Structure 1
Amino acid sequence: MVRARTSSSVCLLLLACLACLASLAGCSGEGARAQSSREAGLTAHRGTFRQRLILSGELAAERGEAMNVPRTNSFQLTIRWLAPDGVPVKAGDPVVAFDNSQFSSDLEEKRLSAAQAGSDLATARAGVKTSASERRFNVEKARSALEKAKVDAAIPKDLLSLRDYQERQLALKRAETDLAKAEEVLRSESKVSDTDVQVKRISLDKSRREIHTAEEAIDALSIKAPRDGMVIVGSHPFEGRKLQVGDSVWTGMAVATLPELSSLMVQANLSDVDDGRIKPGMQVVCTLDAYPDTTYRGRVVDVSPVARESRRSPLLHYFPVRIALEKVDTQRMRPGMSVRVEVLGEETKDALLVPRAALDLSAGGPRVLLASGGAAPVRLGPCSVDTCVVESGVSAGTRLRSRDGRAG
């Protein structure tokens, strides 16, 4: 009885062990198949290759209204107030205001000068009127004296003594001379007085023009939005940042822009070491860093023939690249957004491809790592991030291994 129970327990134990071994074998088989599946890509194979070049860039508007520093008597101005970057505005809303304290002070001085010029003009006119009255009186007085002298000189010579007759003739000539002199003084002094009044009138007009110019300059120091849109604050030309309140700016400098969002394009940078790899007309795929799950297609419009110096280092240079987008998403896209640009080169069909992980580039020339443990020298064509074209040195179907020892 006891022997029977013992035999039964041993059988149950053996069956349990067999079940565990079967399950372990099954797990081992699945793991091997998964490992084999993962390593199947480490082979030289035929396929279509398309070279891709990655660039960094940002969105920029080709059209828009620039708000520049106005032309005034002062070449340099200071920003007193500035709308926040990216804020939406309506037509007529203030965008930027410059410090006008100096202009206001000058305006007050010009108004005082104009008031003084007006007072001087009024005084000159009053003086001219008084002087003209006196001179006209003198002319009339001289004319009356001449008429009296004519009457006295008209008495016949026979009725007067020779002396009286001669004195009356001299008095007539003297009266004629006095009248001519009075009339000449009236004419000459009238011209001088009119000239003086004219000078003072010109001075007053000049002061009024200066006041008008100063008022226009003060009005121009406050720039308003010409239409509805979004404000994009300009960049500081030397410090690599956005402009801010307190910065000094110069005549003609763009302080802010009101971009036309429908004209957004991508401004990318091509390193000088990649010169010649991009040409106008090449297709691109753009990805906004803020929306990595959405791509936008476009094409290269222009590659600058002149390299520019990078702000990060004077040893680095780049070529500006302009990229037109097939579709502009005005709901998401904003000027200044960073963009990842993937430039698509020409397709090569039926090319012999090997993974970059199976290449050894540290030796004198490129070598492909074989699954058998050796390495074979190869001649490489163009490469992408993870794949290279092999022109010679290995055949399709050759099993390879990665640099970490994993075999295909």
Structure 2
Amino acid sequence: MPRLLFSVLLLLAINAAAEPLLLTGEVAARNSQVFVAPQADSWMVQIAWMVEEGERVEPGDAVVQYDTASISANLEQLEATLRKVRAESRRNDLVQDLALREAQHALQIAELTLKKARLDAGIPRELLSELQYEQYQLALTRALNGEVEAKKALAVKEKDVAAEKQRNQVLIAGAENELRRVQVMLDNMTQRTDRAGTAMYVDHPWTRQKIREGDSVQRGFSVLEIPSTDDLHIRAWLNEVDIARIADQQPVTIRFDAMPSVTLAGRVERIGNQAEPKQHWGGSGYIDVSIRFADEPEQTLLPGMSVQVEVAEESP
């Protein structure tokens, strides 16, 4: 009986080893333009419009448009704020210029008063009464002090005017910068492609459902991909328990779900180092495997096409 059990187990092992190693995968692009949800005042942005999945796009085409209602309203408010700040700045400049001219006029009066006081004080003493002479000397002293105070007042006013003008310029610059920031934000709400390709929707990182028009996504989330079809390869997933059955440069056979009659040859190009779980695939971990085509495919292949990869067993 033990010999019979051993024989059965050996037969099962041989049969398991004889079964080909099959991997599930998809056609993938090595280079893609990925569009992410842009910065906005809110941490969530809503996709108002998105190009249809599978549609061919050319450089410069709009592919994603986000809702701009709140940003447009904010932009209008900032434009009104900038107009108000500029108007207040002009009014303050006029007030400060008037105050500066008043200080300059006061100095001119003080200088003229000093000039007259010096003339009066320069009259010989013997030509004046003692009282009048002393009055002229006192007027000269007062005129000298008045000129000094007028110069000080003008210097202080000049500093005040310069500081106030600088403050106004800072306020204007701040309002202009905020307006430019929101304008750039508004411009980024329309995203355009810089390459020709086919639009592909991206899975939401939490729900694994494709992100579509009308969805609200967090800033920085990928929402759309325009893969390059110039350099395609196969991205497959290997169950971690089969890691010993695959090696670099091992030949494979590639079959396409959408084209059952098409079979292409390829080779294992890279095997990932870490297994990760895949949602709805059970509790096992799967390793990312990159496979290159043996020859340039003659068929029209698109990224995202599902494939089945049969790994050829290595000769003992």
Q: Structures share a fold, TM > 0.5?
A: yes
Residue range with higher mean Cα deviation, 228-237 or 282-291: 228-237
Give the number of equivalent residue pairs.
300
Q: Tell me if the contact between 1:281 and 1:301 (Cα under 8 Å) persists in the aligned partners.
A: yes
Who is 1:333 aligned against?
301
Residue identity in the other structure for 2:220: G
Say whether residues 1:210 and 2:174 are aligned partners. no
Partner residue, 1:384: none
Q: What is the CA-CA distance between 1:253 and the residue it aligns to? A: 2.5
Give the equivalent residue in structure 2 for 1:176. Answer: 144
Q: For 1:87-127, what per-residue CA distance to the aligned partner results, in whole angstroms no more than 9, with x for missing partners?
A: 00122111001111121121112111101110111001111
> Aligned AA for 2:312?
L
Deviation, structure 1 residue 175: 0.6
Distance 1:161 1:331, change over 3 A: farther
Aligned ranges 1:369-408 → 2 under 5 Å: none
CA distance in 2, matches of 1:166, 1:309: 106
CA contact (8 A) 2:248 2:269 kept: yes
Residue in 2 that maps onto 1:132: 100
- Whether the aligned pair in 2 keeps the contact of 1:50 and 1:347 (CA below 8 Å) is no
Counterpart check, 1:287 vs 2:264: no
Conserved in 1, the CA contact under 8 Å of 2:97 and 2:161?
no
| In structure 1, C-alpha distance between the alignment counterparts of 2:281 and 2:251, rounded to whole Å | 30
For residues 144-187 of structure 1, the C-alpha deviation after alignment (integer angstroms, 9 at most, x for no partner) is 11111111111111222222212211110101111111121111
User: Aligned residue for 1:220?
Assistant: 188
1:316 equivalent to 2:284? Answer yes
Question: Post-superposition shift, 1:72?
Answer: 4.1
Residues 344 and 331 of structure 1, relative CA distance in 2, 3 Å threshold: closer
- Please tell me the root mean square deviation across aligned C-alpha atoms, in Å: 1.8
Distance in 1 between residues matched to 2:245 and 2:203, nearest whole Å: 30
- Counterpart for residue 68 of structure 2: 100
Cα offset for 1:322?
Answer: 1.1
Partners of 2:75 and 2:242 lie apart in 1 by 58
Higher relative contact order (CA 8 A, sep 6+): 2
Whole-angstrom CA distance in 2 between matches of 1:278 and 1:308: 17
Query: In percent, how many aligned pairs have the same letter?
Result: 29
340 and 202 in structure 1: CA distance in 2 versus 1, 3 angstrom threshold: same
TM-score by length of 1: 0.70
Amino acid at match of 2:215: D
User: SS at 1:293's partner residue?
Assistant: coil
Q: Which runs of 5+ in 1 are unaligned?
A: 1-48, 349-408
SS at match of 1:345: coil
Instruction: Give the structure with the higher percent strand.
Output: 1
Aligned to 2:199: 231
Which amino acid is the alignment partner of residue 80 of structure 2?
L
Q: 1:67 aligns with which of 13, 26, 35?
A: 35
Do residues 298 (structure 1) and 278 (structure 2) align? no
Q: Does 1:256 align with 2:252?
A: no
**Paired letter, 1:303:** I
Give the whole-Å Cα distance in 1 for the aligned partners of 2:39 and 2:297: 37
Runs of 4+ in 1 over 6 A off after TM superposition: none
Given the two structures, how large is their TM-score scaled by the length of structure 2? 0.90
Task: Give 1:268 deviation, angstroms.
Answer: 1.0
SS at match of 1:296: strand
What SS class does the counterpart of residue 265 from structure 1 fall into? strand
Structure 2: how far apart are the matches of 1:59 and 1:274? Answer: 22
Matched, 1:272 2:240: yes
CA distance 1:330–1:96, shift in 2 (3 Å): farther
Q: CA deviation at 1:76?
A: 2.7
1:73 deviates by 4.2
Aligned-residue offset at 1:264: 1.4
CA distance in structure 2 between the aligned counterparts of 1:293 and 1:146, rounded to whole angstroms:
110
Query: SS of 1:210's equivalent?
Result: helix
**Inter-partner Cα distance in structure 2 for 1:214 and 1:331:** 47
